[in-house]
Structure 1
Amino acid sequence: MTDQRTTTDPDPAGPTEWTVPGQVGVGPWPGGPAAWPDDDRYDPELLEHGDRRNVVDAYRYWRRDAVAADLAARAHGFHVAIENFGHDHNIGTVVRTANAFAAAAVHIVGRRRWNRRGAMVTDRYQQLHHHADISELAGFAAGLGLTIVAVDNTPGAVPLETTSLPRDCMLLFGQEGPGLTAEARAAAGLTVSIAQFGSTRSINAGVAAGIAMHAWVRRHADLHRAW
């Protein structure tokens, strides 16, 4: 996908980093309203009071919906799905990582409610979908022509390290502990495992998701578009 964004960069001699200990971001746009950018992506409140959000510099002062729209336009061809039948606390981490790697969307399967703390507010910008069960998720994936790739250390899985992930795919993760349900494994067109060399039987689901997403990025992403 070609990046059609035309970001108006802040004046390099203008907004400065916060100098107050503990503050992040930039201060008010210098020069007052008369000097504000003529661009409706910018938020007047942020321009006036400063932008302390944890966003990359290109999105400083942008409205939340403008950031979300730009991320959707720049999204990669992979989706991420995670089962949520036991209120898994790793989901927030998965959402945050999916945002960092520009996943097209994150899909929560099972319980609608999940712990958003680990998402660090990225759920406000990331495309999110809920599915009642794996059957509904599989139907969504089929409609978009996505190959469901289960990530689990189960018999029959092929090594992620030597497997080329499909460009158009949905990476599917299970819950911490039990891993993927039998229904999820059956719905997958491909199952990959992550090489481990220690004593533990499995690694954290949030960590596994990050490894798998990065494997997709290494294979398919245009690294010149990274921030």
Structure 2
Amino acid sequence: MKVPAFNLSTDEIREELAPIRHPFSIAVCRAKNPFNIGAIIRTAHSFLVREIFLVGTEPWYERAAMGMAKYETIVECPDEDAFLEAVRGRPLIGVERDHARTTLWEAEMPDGLVFLFGSENDGLSDHLLAACSQVLAIPMYGINHSYPVAIAAGMVMCEWARRRDPRGNPSLR
């Protein structure tokens, strides 16, 4: 038997979570592997992101989100231009190794930012890269060229939290 979390409706849970959401969002160019989008949504819920932008029209695997999608604000943008219009005026930080100008450890992370992740095959388009105020890379130490997009998204969200949460950042204690 499945028991509803906190014995509240989905809308009541969303209402309770709204004031404690964090001042950043993520955007993902629809990945070719639909499982990754669901996994990213599940991870984004764990960090209580403001919203999740899905760029493109490819399907995603809802079961991979483990039911967390219903608690999240998911903004579906049919293409890159619609996405850029939706985030106009907000800092856009691309996560793209080949075009990075800084690293995850050094990048500025202002309130209201949107982290942007490309698809597994194509990364971020030139159009989206040009719209980014920063492009960062996650340091790598092996011979592999890139992280899986779901892992990269989790690592970036974790770094954001480490910087902002007093439990992860001794300077905030």
**TM tier, smaller:** 0.7 to 0.9
Percent of paired sites with the same residue: 26
**Alpha-carbon separation, structure 2, partners of 1:112 and 1:222:** 38
Deviations 1:130-168 (A, max 9, x none): 1111221112112xx420110110234311112231222
**Partner residue in 1 for 2:134:** 190
Q: Which amino acid aligns with 2:78?
A: A
**TM-superposed deviation, 1:183:** 1.9
**TM-superposed deviation, 1:91:** 0.5
**Alpha-carbon separation, structure 2, partners of 1:85 and 1:214:** 21
Once the two structures are superposed, the pairs formed by residues 8-87 of structure 1 within 5 Å of their partners are: 51=3, 59-84=5-30, 86=32
TM-score norm. by structure 1 comes to: 0.68
**Alpha-carbon separation, structure 2, partners of 1:212 and 1:106:** 14
Q: Which amino acid aligns with 2:17?
A: L
Q: Which amino acid aligns with 2:96?
A: D
Once the two structures are superposed, the pairs formed by residues 141-152 of structure 1 within 5 Å of their partners are: 141-142=87-88, 145-152=89-96
Q: Which has the higher contact order (CA 8 A, sep 6+)?
A: 2
**Alpha-carbon separation, structure 1, partners of 2:166 and 2:83:** 28
**TM-superposed deviation, 1:176:** 1.4
Distance 1:221 1:133, change over 3 A: farther
* SS in structure 2 at match of 1:90: helix
| Selected match of 1:181 from 99, 122, 125 | 125
- Are the equivalent residues in 2 in contact too, given 1:165–1:219 (CA < 8 A)? no
Q: Which amino acid aligns with 1:119?
A: A
Distance 1:84 1:161, change over 3 A: same
User: Rg: which structure is higher?
Assistant: 1
* SS in structure 2 at match of 1:209: helix
- Are the equivalent residues in 1 in contact too, given 2:34–2:59 (CA < 8 A)? no
- Are the equivalent residues in 1 in contact too, given 2:103–2:138 (CA < 8 A)? yes
Q: Does 1:164 align with 2:108?
A: yes
**Partner residue in 2 for 1:200:** 144
Q: Does 1:220 align with 2:164?
A: yes
- Are the equivalent residues in 2 in contact too, given 1:72–1:127 (CA < 8 A)? no
| Selected match of 1:130 from 76, 79, 86 | 76
**Partner residue in 1 for 2:171:** none
**Alpha-carbon separation, structure 2, partners of 1:104 and 1:63:** 20
